[in-house]
Structure 1
Amino acid sequence: MHKTIVLAIAAVSLALPAGAAETLDETPRIAVMSAFAPEWVALQEALSDRVDHTLNGITFATGAIEGKPVVLFLTGVSMVNAAMTSQLAINHFNIESIVFSGIAGGVDPSRHIGDVIVPAQWGQYLDVILAREVDGDFVPPPFLEAPHPNFGMIFPQNVTVARDGAEPEDRFWFPVDAELLAVAETVAVELDLSDCVPENQCLTHDPGIFVGGNGVSGAAFVDNAAFREYAFETFEAEVLDMESAAVAHVAYANDVPFIAFRSLSDLAGGGEGENEMGTFMGLASANSAAVVKAFLAALP
């Protein structure tokens, strides 16, 4: 009798689709995500009609921001955390698009702390070969491609992406959705951003919103002037962080529109003196959240 029951359960399990997942909320929603607490707090303040769901210990809060149905959640810092939580949201909610709001390090010398950057594409610049040194030069293995200039022993690679109905492809850049980017451009000309923190430490310039260009992400906190310069010269990056390109990768693989808003909390080693993230991460989080709220309000 017990054997029959076990076989019946096994048969039912085999009949289910391999990727089947419970949908926790049927409402079409925009996934609005952040990496860590200050960003998450700034967005929660704008959330109405909140209902919480928990998956793998992560809180997914459904509700509305600026009248748009959203599911709001915290990814945690790191490429792996960002990819994992993005896929969880896609699997368990009816996700129409993905919006990332957070802080980052500035790479482009013409950008400043407090600015909000909205790149048109994202690359994973620390998916790399660590090459051996041969006669004073760093040389990657001959059986691996090294399509990008190196920084010492570090040779960035492209990544292989699998998508439903398509052959796996190698790529570096993951595009932001063109329609979402167009909405961001309309918001950029209308909004004023904060330039002082509560302790009355103020920026020496008025922060702005810059739409377009390149962003890069990798599993490292960068506070090094030489590496910052390399990232700017090699990838023409305006900004670098530790999550956005991973989310862009997941969104691309699932054919979900994606956009990321990143406000500069520091200059990734390019500023005078010590890193200023500790001083300006609250201001940067608030600026990014303000632009995201205006963006959501402007969506059709």
Structure 2
Amino acid sequence: MCGTNSSSMAPSKSLNMRVSVLLLLIVCGSAEAFSTKKRKTVVEEIKKINENGPYIGLITVYAPEESAFFASGAFQSDPKHPFVDLAGRRFRVGKVHNKKVIYVRCGIGLVNAAAATQNMVDMFEISGIIHFGIAGNANSSMSIGDVTIPTQFADTGLWDWLNPNGTVDSSDFGKLDIGNYNVPRGEGQNLLGHVGYSTEQFYSESGDPNTPQRVIWLNTTTHWLNLAANLKGIRLERCVNTSFCLSEEPKLVVGLKGATANTFIDNAAYREFLFQTFHVSSLDMESSAIVMTSLSNGFPVLVIRGLSDLAGAQKGDNHIQIFGPLAASNTARVVIEFLKTLPNHQHALL
């Protein structure tokens, strides 16, 4: 950290110490000047990019999803302003089927997702957000390779973790009794107690400042969901490679529910609990944050997730390593087709 406590330096300190402090101040001053100059350059670049807006914001999470999207060849980079680096992320500017887009990879987890989305809507001329990637499957009627476009998301990571004799708050949406999973069941006391699932505090531009609503479900944009429903017959890939294929053709399903938490879920019992309690079909670590941030700022939002595994159902390692690329590829295909069919004059409508 730049700076020093001058009161701690006695007059007898050597000349070398004084020179070191002087050099430190010079370096710190130069770093601050460089940082200010860099920020100014970034702001000027963004200003030029925004002159050609509005854009649709595209957000993925990690490298395999990004690779699948760019491997499609649908993204055409802007020749004058191909990208701008902001807050450690690269925002790429271009077009998909003649729709102007700005793409970013946010990184894993709720904080990264919310931060990248807020950067997107604050800094760029955006008309709406499409978030896409892969997800775990909580619904046994869905299959690996299927793509889901949910209507709602719940944050299932907001827990009130109580002691064995604690009482779950009446406002909590769900309750998980850890002791119900004892083996043998019902024998003895489980000191892990109970988990109550709390509600989100949703802040919105349409509401009063500093007055959040308590919500369980965050809704994606109805207008975009209706447009996406027209894609249900889209053909999705079922083969990982030339010798390894799924037994059934994957399908696109519009209108289910999803759950988000900062937890990678690879446990069948917990997956079944989430399905029975929240009636969710997809499990991920980012979507609810992106939906809530978009809605808080008044932007339409759609989430498209490809299923890579039935969480915890496999023997051995999770199937995400095998089927993740296929799920990412099918998801990218749906995103690209949605952008293709999205009318230019409607993409900003709620």
TM-score (norm 2): 0.75
Say if 2:173 and 2:216, in contact at 8 Å, map to a contact too. no
Say if 1:228 and 1:270, in contact at 8 Å, map to a contact too. no
Deviation, structure 1 residue 162: 1.5
Equivalent residue pairs, number: 274
Hey, which of these two has a bigger chunk of strand by percent?
A: 1
Partner AA of 1:110 in structure 2: S
SS of equivalent residue, structure 1 residue 150: strand
Answer yes or no: is 1:148 the counterpart of 2:174: yes
Deviation, structure 1 residue 46: 2.1
Partner AA of 1:102 in structure 2: G
Answer yes or no: is 1:42 the counterpart of 2:68: yes
The equivalences for 1:159-238 within 5 A come to: 159-167=200-208, 168-189=212-233, 191-198=234-241, 200-238=243-281
Answer yes or no: is 1:30 the counterpart of 2:56: yes
Q: 1:52 to 1:225 in 2, by over 3 A?
A: same
TM-score (norm 1): 0.87
Matched residue, 2:30: none
Answer yes or no: is 1:104 the counterpart of 2:135: yes
Answer yes or no: is 1:157 the counterpart of 2:198: yes
Q: 1:252 to 1:151 in 2, by over 3 A?
A: farther
Q: Provide structure 2 residue ranges, at least 5 long, that are not aligned to the other structure.
A: 1-42, 179-193, 344-350
Partner Cα distance (2:331, 2:309) in 1? 14
Partner Cα distance (1:200, 1:57) in 2? 40
Matched residue, 1:113: 144
Aligned with residue 289 of structure 2, among 246, 254, 259? 246
The structure with more radius of gyration? 2
Percent of paired sites with the same residue = 31
Partner Cα distance (1:67, 1:251) in 2? 23
Say if 1:151 and 1:227, in contact at 8 Å, map to a contact too. no
Q: 1:165 to 1:206 in 2, by over 3 A?
A: closer
Matched residue, 1:91: 122
Matched residue, 1:287: 330
CA deviation profile, 1:84-130 (whole Å, cap 9, x unmatched): 00000001101111101100001111000000011011110111111
Partner Cα distance (2:122, 2:264) in 1? 29
Partner AA of 1:36 in structure 2: Y
Answer yes or no: is 1:299 the counterpart of 2:329: no
Answer yes or no: is 1:259 the counterpart of 2:302: yes
CA deviation profile, 1:23-81 (whole Å, cap 9, x unmatched): 54321011111000011122223211331110011000010011110001101010110
Matched residue, 1:124: 155
Deviation, structure 1 residue 200: 2.4
The equivalences for 1:4-23 within 5 A come to: 23=46
SS of equivalent residue, structure 1 residue 216: strand
Q: 1:115 to 1:160 in 2, by over 3 A?
A: same
Partner Cα distance (2:61, 2:276) in 1? 27
